[in-house]
Amino acid sequence: MTAPTPRPGILDIIAYAPGKVAVRDGVTTYKLSSNESALGPSPKAVAAFEAAGPDLHIYPDGSARALREKLGDHNDIPADHIVCGAGSDELLQLICKAYLGPGDTALQTDHGFAVYHLAAMSCGATMLYAPEKDHKTDVDALLAAVEDSTKVVFVANPNNPTGTVVPASELQRLREGLREDILLVVDAAYSEYMDDPAYDDGRAMVQDAIASGADNVVMTRTFSKIYGLGGLRLGWAYAPAPIIDVMNRIRGPFNISSAAIVAGVAAVEDQDFVVQNREHNRQELARVGQRLGGLGFEIVPSTCNFLLVKMRGGDVEARSTEAKKLCAYLAERGVFVREVAEYRLPEFLRISIGSLEANDAMLAIVEEFVS
């Protein structure tokens, strides 16, 4: 018997490994492996989600108008240049589905976010990688890596798992150096944690693209990080009209649930919560970084809600072994952090910034491990 076979390349994909967590009887667990909100979700978003219950038999507004208008007002951009998705993951998938196919290449940095290559491969395209400099996006390296077949370039700014950021001027230089027929995707999943005036989440570049009629930049955003709604699956993209049109043609007709629409609106309205979460992160990022640095770990300077932590001493092999051991040691004691060997960073662990309690628990176990 012959079985149905997936398209070439699909079976080469190694499925995304989500941040781990496991519950054990009698052990308090802390999940610091998926860069989720340290303060949970906005209580106002939760209330809106709960209030959506009685109407769940009604299909959602397929265009998510109320949410797009709220996002448009809040971000000072037109709602008809926004498309919402089930997490920014869905939007990244849609971009690949629309603009990449067999024989095409996409480009990202060496330690860029994993979903880009998975999404590109699922469309039959190949991912190219450009080296980073000090774990930062290197615009010259990206430009040098572009091939004739390159159709899409992905940059996460700030990037996951490195946590590093490049200024708006560098992204602008990248855009100017790319051929006009290449789509630049600026993934700003962690932008709400930024407070650097030299930073642009991608909005200015999209605005500029719209004004100049160059339809080749898209910014993606998420509700999964500072807004604390990772479980709800909600993200959005801002782009010139032709790109929005393309994404609307291929997305599911009701890709955002009615509960996600109202919770998303309430979350955007609850900016006090966002400010509180950002402030908590600012303080804890510094405190946790200092404590781990004091124990001899090298910390990649981060602007996000996580730290990329390099193991101590020895050679690459010894440090990689230590990363595995420390990850397992923490997990046995209820704290889950992320190994990043699949990002070609085997000597590192990525540790999310959690609540005070979670961070203290993690630090105490790391201290015990090194002593």
Q: What are phi and psi of 212, to 5 degrees?
A: -95, 0
230 sits near ligand PLP (criterion: CB under 6 A)? yes
Question: Comparing C-alpha atoms, which of 211, 150, 137 is closest to residue 178?
Answer: 150
Own/partner long-range contacts of 142-148 (Cβ < 8 Å, ≥24 apart): 142/107, 142/109, 142/174, 143/174, 143/177, 143/178, 145/107, 146/107, 146/178, 146/179, 146/182, 147/105
CA angle at 340 for the pair 238 and 22, rounded to the nearest 5°: 95
Site for ligand PLP in 124-183 (CB under 6 A): 156, 160
Whichever of 94 and 365 has its CB closer to ligand PLP, that residue is: 94
In the complex, which residue's CB is closest to ligand PLP? 87
Tokens of 6: 């997936």
Q: How far is the CB of 341 from ligand PLP (least distance, A)?
A: 17
Whichever of 110 and 187 has its CB closer to ligand PLP, that residue is: 187
Mask: binding to ligand PLP, 97-116, rule CB under 6 A, as x and -? ----------------x---
Mask: binding to ligand PLP, 49-88, rule CB under 6 A, as x and -? --------------------------------------xx
Whichever of 228 and 363 has its CB closer to ligand PLP, that residue is: 228
Q: How many residues bind ligand PLP (CB under 6 A)?
A: 13
Q: How far is CA 240 from the centre of its chain?
A: 22
* Cβ contacts of 272 within 8 Å, gap of 6 or more: none
- Strands 126-130, 105-109: pairing kind: parallel
Tokens of 185: 């995707």
Q: How far is the CB of 178 from ligand PLP (least distance, A)?
A: 20
Whichever of 145 and 237 has its CB closer to ligand PLP, that residue is: 237
35 sits near ligand PLP (criterion: CB under 6 A)? yes
- Give the CA dihedral 113, 78, 223, 18, nearest 10 degrees: -30
Among the residue ranges 60-68, 138-146, 222-230, 335-343, the one whose residues contact ligand PLP (CB under 6 A) = 222-230
289 sits near ligand PLP (criterion: CB under 6 A)? no
Residues that bind ligand PLP (CB under 6 A): 35, 87-89, 113, 156, 160, 187, 189, 222, 224, 230, 235
